[in-house]
Structure 1
Amino acid sequence: MTTHKGSLSRRSMLKGGAALAATAAISPYIVFRAQAAPAAGELAMIAATPNSNGAFEKLYLLKGDPLAGPIKAIVTETGAAVPMSGLEMGERRLLRLMHFNDLHNHITEMHAKKGDTHVFSQMVKQVKDARANAVADEVVLFVSGGDDHTGSIFDELLGWSPDEFIADAGYRVYSAGGVDVAVLGNHEFDRGAAVLKKGIETDASFPLLSANVHGSSDLKRDEDYFAAVIGEAKGLRIGFVGLTTSVDTRVGQPADPKLAVASPLEAVRNVLPAVASVADIVVVLSHCGYGGDQHKSGKAGTARTVGEGDFAIAQAIAPLTDKPIVIIGAHTHTKLNAEGIDTDNVVEGVLITQAQAHGAYLGEIAISIRSDNGRKGWFTSVGLRPTKARDQRIKAGEAGYETFEQEADYDVDFEQTHVAPLIKALDTRLNEVIGQVPDDTLVSNERTFADRYVGETALANFMNDALVRRSEDFPGGRIDVALFNASGITSGLPQGPLSFRQWYDVMPYADGVHVATMTGAQIRDMLQSNAKRVLRPEEVSKVDTSAFVSRGFLHFSSALRYTIKLNASAIEATATAITIAGKPIEDVLDRQFKVAFNTYVALGGFGETWNGKPIGGEVPGQIPSMDLRGLPFDHTGMVYRNEVVALIREARTVGPDMGLTLDQRVRIEA
């Protein structure tokens, strides 16, 4: 496959740029002096090359430390004059922001019977049409709210190290499709910052933003990503600030121990006033989540930990400038403003919007901006454009035919030129039949979704037992127990031949294998915490179990058996009759066991709180969670999914003989 080199390469970012022409009043933040590197409280405004397929005519990178304190000055090259706006006083522009978020590499959804749904190519067509039909004073931008990785088979092109890298499918098609700017989401870091850096360097022709990610030994701020940028088109200046969730990003990994995510509120307060001073409008690309603290929306079946989310961000930034501000959100997969502006999503004049996830919608915000009008009367329309699913079984003239994707709905040439080569690179891996599912009674979508949060789940039993079997050949020796979190199991299985892709859909997340040494007493305490996380019978009818229930409920391999006694409430729930390898837990409290964790849980479960914070997901009582992060881990470097797939390939079946069973390893009692 030919390596794509984006026009916004790392080299072009580092070059600096030509002098910037002044056409309007000068911002009070601007300081004219030579500056090789900005000092604390400064950002350097450096010209760079925008995506040649995008809409920016000019692009300026804002380099510096956004966390050292409030930005007091924007430093430019000697003699460079930077105007606050390219618009004359009273002049108006129409800005159309076409946005998506949490695509998770669902670029094209492939289905043997229904046909392929060309998700991203549908969005590309709509953006190209909007740009082609734009009026003289209209600017059409195309932006991503982050989480552009983890979730589809295209992730396999990334590899697990820079040496294994083939392509960053998402960033490659974004570059070709005209994306102007994107923010770093939490899942960008799932395969490590070194792989992310390789993807950015190779395939991103647009700037990546985050004002609050810092400390990585591999991914460098001001080289690979930036706190903020200024884009200009038709004289209109648009400032972008990027924010990444501090709750769910994978920090603390051995390969990059200093990677950290600071408070998004701290970062945006420091940066936004200076950005606003040299822009007509500021767009905050917030991969922090809709809501704040504990909130239920989007993919959440119960309230989840959002932390400093979009509500808090809007309240913090509204007083900082009178310029128009838009928050394009992400992370929670929330559908907002589908039918126009919902007043609940306007906080002190700041619009919050989000376009669900996986390309279900292309968001659209049309804003009429006058240079001296501030935030008065500046919205013209806000909404979501649905994409269409493919079902080639429905023929022309049949009921519903128009509601399904047809060739006129997507950019066929773009799909063939840019996406098809990526699919071809995946063909062998995608279509490989790794085994058979002789009976889907226990593993269908319906059964898996119904079981995974309420107790024993056959598919989880199989996965955990498979890892234990594979551990016979682990360099560190056989493990005693394996575990996996319920929300990491995202699909069931149909009866019949099982492809690699179908298993990928079951466990799409980039989880490694981390083996902890735990005493029997620690395992007992872990089960006591787990008992308080189960979805209780009185809750089931009120919760969509096909959604994300962020309680951190864990499933275990067969050596660990116990009963959850529900009692009157979650805080009173207990784990009883615990045995490990057939022995009562009371007899082995001091004995050490090897317990295999997936990465998500080993790192503390983030918003699913195996980190000492109160258990979330609408569990009442502010029950402190067990903190698993301090356990002594052997970070094996192995990938959980790959080990399970290897066992399936060897056995050629996902059936009772290979542990696909309900054996009452966990019982639920009132």
Structure 2
Amino acid sequence: MPKANSALSRRAFLTSSAAGLAAFSSIIAFRANAQAAAGELLMVPAAPNPHGAIERLFLLHGDPLAGPIRKIVTESGNPVPAPTMESGARRVLRLMHFNDMHNHITDMHDKRGDTHRMSQIVRRMQETRAAAAENEVVLLLGGGDDHTGSVFDELLGWEPEEFVADAGYRVNSAAGVDVAVLGNHEFDRGAEMLRLGIEKDARFPLLSANVHSSAHIARDRDYTSAAVAEVKGMRIGFIGLTTQVDTRIGQPDDPDMGVASPVEAVRNVLPALSQVCDVVVILSHCGYGTGQSRSGKAGADRMIGEGDFDIAAAAGPLTDKPVVLIGGHSHTRLNAEGLNPDNVIDGVLMTQAEANGKYLGEITMSLAADQGRTGWFTHVGLHPIKSRDDRVAADDPKFDTFEKEDDYDAAFEEAHVAPLRLALQSKLAEAIGTVTAGDAVSTATVEAERYVGENALLNFMNDALVKRSAGFANGTVDLALFNATAILSGVAQGPLSFGDWYDVMPYADQVHIATMTGAQIHDMLQSNAKRIVRPEEADALDFSGFISRGFLHFSDGLRYRLVLGDAVADARAEDITLHGQPLDSMSERQFRVAFNSYVRLGGFSEAWNGKAIGAGVPGQIQGMDLRGLEYEESGLVYRNEIIAQIRQDGGISADAATLDGRLTVA
């Protein structure tokens, strides 16, 4: 990349930048009650993150979904002037980015040592900014899904009175994140808890142009559709987009919240935004690909709906300004070895930095004033974040690939992460029991079995919930179920801590109790039979990843034989009994069935919502729609109920976690 333009002296650069900012400032005179008119977005000044690099920040208020935005205006109704970058100037814009951190701020491990992921990012950001030329801008951006995935989630709580901290947003603020997008997992504990986390701990703007109508989180108060940043005389526009497919809409306490088409949103906003900016950044938490796409942690095709391919194809023709798309949601590693030409659609560069803090992405652009895409060029890549393993000896060839003390900012870790760890310390280490079930519940066994048949750990979990229901305020349940993708690991023989079990069940599911007839349970099993991974396809799938078909496991009251047949369409459940009685003899009888939140809400990409099952299942086979059942809200956290039963039992024994033939595959 070029260094500072030799024709631009330091004094001229600073003077021209200041003049441009001053000219823009002179026309911005807002009143508190200013409102955007139809077809307009109102440019409202806001405080940038004090730890970030943005000099002036403006949030764009108004409705981006009512129709095309004709113009972006000031409070007085005057259009915002063209970008302030002086003619003939060139700037270097360096965008550092991460996505799908899932609260992997610091990964703690007794034997390997702690991996300080965010503190490594901070260290690299400090070095990058220190080395920047005077005409260079370095920003840090978040690609969404900062929540759900590590024990730090427990600090957020489930109710406002339980709130301690939003660990992800608090640490991101201290790290200097300049702008971020709302991901789907931000809503896992409900929009009310998200609003509280934003209010208490987010010191950077959160964007989504297509989330709307929530009862708890309000556009233009808690988040906005788009933003404009000014740094060193350059104006950068941002649009945020959230996946339609996997965001938890339809929550009982927020029934009207919706997620509109991201393509519609970008078509409405981008033309007007690009007119007032030198460059536009789309923060897309929608997933790499289109429709059904297999990438990242997907073990098979995964439904993503309108993804980054669709967004880039829509955005490219709308402007001749440089546009880059920083992605998320699909956990895809893109451009790790430099630019892959396949990741440019209609002139829009797409990239993504996998997930869980494994990489810090970088896009570096050289931008020339008034030349649009014809006068820019770019570099793109990923910087690995090192994992820790103190067991590796210094003479091991891989020794340097692991994190050492000088790889992370120890002062940042002490100041911002250590207090959160202290708040979690007793929770993490808390012993909840002892595992004596051996390899039957190991991670290797869970990964090998959860998609293809019966699994001892899932048997244990479903049986545990039925036992716990004896004390439920709204009564016992006849049956419990859980989807295979909702457990991410197994457990090791020996002592079991809260942190160990959190690794098994990181998702924020609550218990919902449905009333189902025997006939409905029969239909559910027939749909489930078509979701199992069949022997003839197993070799082509990654069993450690998400095979998002929604294959369900059940408690021991339900027993059946799954007949594969000659093809997926022929797969069926036979010889079904419930509590020892043939299910066919109880078609009209009603039963109480415990669901986790994800399946109760239709399974999203796992298609318990009437849509085609997908994920590699041929023939566009329609999944059963479970959303219309009659549900009771228990108010209970699924994970906490399983932990309570583990405590009561003293752990997980071979008798409690066993293969008992409740499911046989023929």
* TM-score bracket relative to the smaller structure: over 0.9
Alignment correspondent of 2:8 = none
User: How many Å separate the matches in 1 of 2:164 and 2:245?
Assistant: 30
**Aligned mates of 2:535, 2:396 — CA distance in 1:** 43
CA drift of 1:327 comes to 0.5
Q: d(CA) in 1 for partners of 2:65 and 2:316?
A: 20
- Does structure 1 conserve the Cα–Cα contact (< 8 Å) formed by 2:249 and 2:257? yes
| CA shift for structure 1 position 33 | 11
Alignment correspondent of 1:12: none
**Conserved 8 A contact 1:242-1:286:** yes
Match of 2:7 in 1: none
In structure 2, the partner of 1:665 is 662
Corresponding letter in the other structure for 2:566: A
Task: Report the secondary structure of 2:540's partner residue.
Answer: coil
* Secondary structure of the structure 2 residue equivalent to 1:550: coil
> Which of 475, 498, 506 pairs up with 1:508?
506
Question: Do the aligned partners of residues 79 and 460 (structure 1) sit closer, same or farther apart at CA in structure 2, a change above 3 Å counting?
Answer: closer
Partners of 2:417 and 2:26 in 1: CA distance: 45
Amino acid at match of 2:233: G
Q: Aligned equivalents of 1:477 and 1:24: distance in 2?
A: 63
Do 2:434 and 2:652's aligned partners in 1 also have CA atoms closer than 8 Å? yes
- Give the whole-Å Cα distance in 1 for the aligned partners of 2:444 and 2:618: 28
Identity within the alignment, %? 62
Q: How far apart are residue 34 of structure 1 and its match?
A: 10
For the structure 1 residues 217 and 24, does the alpha-carbon distance in structure 2 shift closer, same or farther, using more than 3 Å as the test? closer
Give the equivalent residue in structure 2 for 1:408: 406
Q: 1:178 to 1:24 in 2, by over 3 A?
A: closer
Q: Which residue in 1 is equivalent to 2:465?
A: 467
Partner of residue 645 from structure 1, selected from 643, 646, 654: 643
Whether the 8 Å CA contact 1:246–1:261 is kept in 2: the answer is yes
- Which residue identity does 2:665 align to in structure 1? I
Displacement of 1:81 in angstroms is 7.4
Distance 2:413 2:158 in 1: 26
Q: How far apart are residue 90 of structure 1 and its match?
A: 2.2
Quote the residue 1:174 is aligned against: 172
Pick from 208, 213, 234 the counterpart of residue 210 of structure 1: 208
Q: TM-score if structure 1 supplies the norm length?
A: 0.95
Contact 2:465 2:642 in 1 (8 A): yes
The unaligned stretches of length 5 or more in structure 2 are 1-19
Aligned length, in residue pairs: 647
Return the letter of the residue paired with 1:289.
Answer: G
Q: CA deviation at 1:522?
A: 0.1
Mapped contact 2:437–2:657 kept (Cα < 8 A) = no
Q: Measure the CA separation in 2 of the matches of 1:420 and 1:257.
A: 38
| Aligned-partner Cα distance in 2 for 1:103–1:344 | 25
Question: In the alignment, what sits opposite 1:102?
Answer: 100
Task: Select 1:351's aligned residue among 349, 352, 376.
Answer: 349
Deviations along 1:489-535, one digit per CA (max 9) or x if unpaired, are 10111111001011011010000000000000000000000000000
Is 1:127 the counterpart of 2:125? The answer is yes
Change (3 A) 1:33 1:125: closer
Name the residue aligned to 2:455: 457
What is the aligned partner in structure 2 of residue 375 from structure 1? 373
Shift in Å, 1:649 = 1.2
For residue 380 of structure 1, report the CA deviation from its aligned partner: 3.0
Q: Secondary structure of 1:383's partner?
A: strand
Distance 2:325 2:500 in 1: 35
Q: Please give the alpha-carbon distance, in whole angstroms, between the structure 2 residues aligned to 1:81 and 1:304.
A: 43
Aligned partner of 1:11 in structure 2 is: none
Question: Quick check: 2:438–2:654 contact (8 Å CA) kept in 1?
Answer: no
Residue by residue over 1:232-276, the C-alpha shift from the partner in whole angstroms, topping out at 9 and shown as x without a partner, is 111111100000000000000111111111111111111111111
Q: CA deviation at 1:376?
A: 2.3
State the shift of 1:561 in Å. Answer: 0.7
SS at match of 1:388: coil
Is the CA contact (8 Å cut-off) linking 1:21 and 1:82 kept in structure 2? no
Tell me, in whole angstroms, the C-alpha distance in 2 between the residues paired with 1:20 and 1:79.
Answer: 19
Shift of 1:381: 1.1
Deviation at 1:39, TM superposition (A): 1.9
CA RMSD of aligned residues (A): 1.8
Cα distance, 1:181 vs structure 2: 0.6
Amino acid at match of 1:22: A
* Alignment-derived partner of residue 479 in structure 2: 481
Cα pair 1:35 1:77 within 8 Å, conserved: no
Task: Within 5 Å, give how 1:65-464 maps onto structure 2.
Answer: 65-78=63-76, 82-376=80-374, 378-464=376-462
Structure 1 contact 33–75 (Cα < 8 Å) conserved: no
Q: 1:9 aligns to what?
A: none
Q: Are the aligned partners of 2:73 and 2:80 in contact in 1 as well (CA < 8 Å)?
A: no
For residue 655 of structure 1, what is the aligned residue in structure 2?
Answer: 653
What is the CA deviation profile of residues 541-573 of structure 1, one whole-angstrom value per residue up to 9, with x for unaligned ones? 111100000100000000011111001111110
- Deviations 1:1-43, CA, capped at 9 Å, x for gaps: xxxxxxxxxxxxxxxxxx97436999xxx99999721122111
- Provide the C-alpha distance between the structure 2 equivalents of 1:295 and 1:104, rounded to a whole number of angstroms: 21
Structure 1 residue 389: Cα displacement: 0.6
Change in CA separation of 1:249 and 1:81 when aligned onto 2, cut-off 3 Å: closer
Specify the code of the residue in structure 2 equivalent to 1:605: G
Whether the 8 Å contact between 1:24 and 1:86 is mirrored in structure 2 is no
Conserved 8 A contact 2:72-2:80: no
1:544 maps to 542
Match of 2:619, as an amino acid? G
Tell me if the contact between 2:512 and 2:634 (Cα under 8 Å) persists in the aligned partners: yes
**Aligned partner of 1:367: which letter?**
M
Residue 394 (structure 1) shift: 2.1
Alpha-carbon deviation of 1:379? 2.9
1:372 CA displacement: 1.5
CA distance in 2, matches of 1:613, 1:80: 47
Matched to 2:571, the amino acid is: A
The residue number in structure 1 matching 2:598 is: 600
- Asked whether the 8 Å contact 1:21–1:80 carries over to 2, the reply is no
> 1:46–1:61: 8 Å Cα contact kept in structure 2?
yes
TM-score (norm: length of structure 2): 0.95
1:651 Cα shift? 1.3
Instruction: Find the residue that maps to 2:134 and give its secondary structure.
Output: coil
